[in-house]
Amino acid sequence: MNRIHVAYWLSLVGLLIGLPPLPGAEPLKLPPTERKAVVDEYHGIPIADDYRWLEDGDAPAVRAWCDTQNAATRGVLDALPSRAHFARRLRALHAAASPDHSALAFSGGVLFALKFAPPKNQPFLVTLKSADDPASAKIVCDPNTLDEQGATAIDFYVPSHDARWAAVCLSKKGSEQGDVTVYEVATGRALPDVVPRVNYPTAGGSVAWNGDSSGFYYTRYPRGEERPPEDINFYQQIYFHQLGTPTGEDRHIYGDKFPRIAEIDLKSTDDGRYLLATVANGDGGEYAHFLMSPGGAWSQITTFADKATLARFGHDGWLYLLSRNTPGHRDAIVRIRLDQPQLAQAEPVYPELEAVIQNFAVGQDQLVGTALVGGPSELWAYDLAAKKPVACSSPAITAIAQIVHLQHAEFLYRQQSYITPAGWKRLTFADGRGTTAETALVGKSPADFSDVEVVRDFATSKDGTRVPLNIIRRKGLELNGNNPTILYGYGGYGHSLSPAFQASRKVWLEQGGVFAIANLRGGGEFGEKWHLAGNLTRKQNVFDDFEACARRLIDSGYTRPQKLAIQGGSNGGLLMGAALTQHPELFQAVVAHVGIYDMLRVELHPNGAFNIPEFGSVKVRDQFDALLAYSPYHHVRDVTAYPAVLLLTGHNDGRVDPYHSRKMTARLQATTTSGLPVLLRYNYDSGHGIGAGLAERVAQEADVYAFLAQQLNMNITTGP
């Protein structure tokens, strides 16, 4: 991308954003975006689109338009007085943080982890002697050495059962287009085996090793002319790769009858004799399970209609399933024999729970899992031999993200809160009791949250539904309606916004800001009913919930519209678009990352087809009516005073096509009368945000906080 002098572009956008031009510069306006009307007809209804031409991201005219927008945005953001402060503060917080260990796996008696150690840009794969000996970390694969720009990331990794090899999926520039390379664990040596097209944003990717570690099963997308161009990122299948052989000789194993939008997750037993394929029907929350027995025969265990979700191999010849098809419509865990893989033969293990099961792991004689309680989660355990629950305790308003069974009656789990960094704890069982203890893999941050508290509040939505609202604030905060506040939301795919520590929030809180997080319908905070209440034709409930949370913050004295900003990404970007078009008077500023805005055309692009089970299709009349009723792009009104808007996107985004942000920017810039800026931050070297390097994340956070600080009229204290 061409770099254009900041001073020139600051004068160019001076009138647009209401800033004075630079001394000696003539004030100029950002050139209006050309309109080229295209009209589509849906169910007899004509719909005009003035900016269809911006959908072709590789067209020279679109590239030139993006460069103009980008240069204008940089001219504005780089000139903000607070940006240098935020960037400096964020770099300092990240640089002084302790290494973080995530995505742990225990295989062949060896503990693996992804280690993130700033100032390195990307996490890297290591082995550890134990969770109590972080100094023993030995590097297996470090993408930071493969790419000095920090743009190569590990999508996922899977160690072999004997811990001799690790299959590592790597992708570049946030594309999530991952190829798998095999590394020798003992030496970190990469084998010549590189298997292409294992991972892609549409359906993800997965690997599972065979018993003797001579090869692995993997998900593969079509290659070459195996499928028409429109299907090249669909029809994921299962293949097998034998180490040391050309990938062109890999065997097709299974998947011919899977749906076009199948998303496959693979797991094998510790001895590699059984292979499980969990197949999601797109992104709507439906799963089917298929089991390959030692002889190579496949059995379908569950269908999409059976409402079984998570599946885990036990250490006793059983497969454990999370069932949501119980008589009381509550979560329960059942199991089936691997040598008799029939759901009709399933045995109940853990009876119906009042809480929503989020995750679980299977030990020798224990089940250990997490239960959602409206966003936060709690630890639970069950003794398989005694057939009774085991008491466990968890601090309030915390979240447990992962559970790993080590051996015998020993587990590790990762816990964090809004104000406590993530760390790994050990859970052991003896005499029918569970005991927890800290490990040495405990995160430490220079961001001091001792003066911060978390308040769990509730808003009342339009239909009377109580919606949880988590408010992070400095202790003793005066509720005078004058506090600069960010309200964050998502509300989709059954994904829960659970407590998560972010050191970067401290730079907002220490300036007197408030950060609030809403647990909206559409998420999974209260189970599948909560999710279904906010998907398909019920999506407006999500937007109503978010509006209620904003009004709750205002009515409670935290803030007022002139001091309220909203933020979200991806499906949360759609939420931002709906919020600003439905209630422009309620917010001063909007920040939307990689958002979806044109709901009538989203399904035409690869990942959009996977979203149909969540959003619906324009081909179905009632779903079309619902989509058109809230589609943000189609509800931008002419001559309307919109809030200040910052849209961020990445050119390599395979989940949400960046044309959504391009078109929404053009539409808002052409219509807003508020005099407030509508800016597009367009990155050619990133994607959906997954795999972004540390330097890019810091730059993005600094831009966002500086933008919001200016719009909410914060009095920034920069310190010495």
Shared domain for 80 and 175, answered yes or no, is no
The residue count for the chain:
720
How far from the centroid of its chain's Cα atoms is residue 286's Cα?
19
Residue where a domain terminates, one of 392, 419, 444: 444
What are the backbone dihedrals phi and psi of residue 335, each rounded to the nearest 5 degrees, phi first?
A: -145, 155
Shared domain for 344 and 431, answered yes or no, is no
Shared domain for 687 and 706, answered yes or no, is yes
- 374-388 per-position pLDDT tens digit: 999 999 999 998 888
- Who's near 362: CB < 8 A, 6+ residues apart? 312, 313, 314, 315, 320, 405
Q: With left for phi above 0 and alpha for psi between -120 and 50, is residue 213 left, alpha or beta?
A: left
Report d(CA 247, CA 251) in Å as an integer.
9
- 422-458 per-position pLDDT tens digit: 999 999 998 878 899 999 999 999 999 999 999 999 9
What are the backbone dihedrals phi and psi of residue 565, each rounded to the nearest 5 degrees, phi first?
A: -120, 155
Residue where a domain terminates, one of 426, 444, 462: 444
- 666-676 per-position pLDDT tens digit: 999 999 999 99
- Who's near 220: CB < 8 A, 6+ residues apart? 195, 197, 198, 236, 237, 238, 239, 250
Shared domain for 678 and 698, answered yes or no, is yes
User: Residue 102 falls within a domain, yes or no?
Assistant: no
Shared domain for 516 and 654, answered yes or no, is yes
Shared domain for 646 and 505, answered yes or no, is yes
Shared domain for 464 and 544, answered yes or no, is yes
- Helical H segments across 583-658, by residue range: 606-610, 612-615, 621-630
What are the backbone dihedrals phi and psi of residue 345, each rounded to the nearest 5 degrees, phi first?
A: -95, 10
Catalytic residues, which ones? 570, 688
User: Residue 99 falls within a domain, yes or no?
Assistant: no
- The CATH number of whichever domain residue 161 belongs to comes to 2.130.10.120
Shared domain for 577 and 432, answered yes or no, is no
User: Residue 523 falls within a domain, yes or no?
Assistant: yes
Report d(CA 405, CA 570) in Å as an integer.
33
Shared domain for 154 and 224, answered yes or no, is yes
pLDDT at residue 9 in the model: 25
Residue where a domain terminates, one of 409, 444, 479: 444
pLDDT at residue 315 in the model: 85
- 245-298 per-position pLDDT tens digit: 999 999 999 999 999 999 999 999 999 999 999 999 999 899 999 999 999 999
- Grouping H, G, I as helix, E, B as strand and the rest as coil, residue 358 is strand
pLDDT of 211 > 50? The answer is yes
Strand-by-strand arrangement of the 388-390 sheet: 356-362, 366-372, 377-383, 388-390
Shared domain for 350 and 360, answered yes or no, is no
pLDDT at residue 20 in the model: 34
- 324-370 per-position pLDDT tens digit: 877 666 888 999 999 999 999 999 998 766 779 999 999 989 999 99
User: Residue 509 falls within a domain, yes or no?
Assistant: yes
pLDDT of 188 > 50? The answer is yes
Q: Please answer whether residues 60 and 28 qualify as being in contact, where contact means their C-beta atoms are separated by less than 8 angstroms.
A: no
Shared domain for 527 and 633, answered yes or no, is yes
User: Residue 268 falls within a domain, yes or no?
Assistant: no
User: Residue 658 falls within a domain, yes or no?
Assistant: yes
- The amino acid at 115: K
Mean pLDDT, rounded, of the chain: 92
pLDDT at residue 329 in the model: 67
Q: Note down the domain range covering 23.
A: 6-92+447-711
- 138-187 per-position pLDDT tens digit: 999 999 999 988 899 999 999 999 999 999 999 999 999 999 999 999 99
Shared domain for 424 and 460, answered yes or no, is no
> Would you list the DSSP string of 372-409?
ESSSSEEEEEEETTTTEEE-----TTEEEEEEEEEETT
User: Residue 670 falls within a domain, yes or no?
Assistant: yes
User: Residue 24 falls within a domain, yes or no?
Assistant: yes
Domain count, the chain: 4
Indicate the pairing of strand 124-128 with strand 388-390: unpaired
- 559-586 per-position pLDDT tens digit: 999 999 999 999 999 999 999 999 999 9
pLDDT at residue 236 in the model: 97
How far from the centroid of its chain's Cα atoms is residue 586's Cα?
27
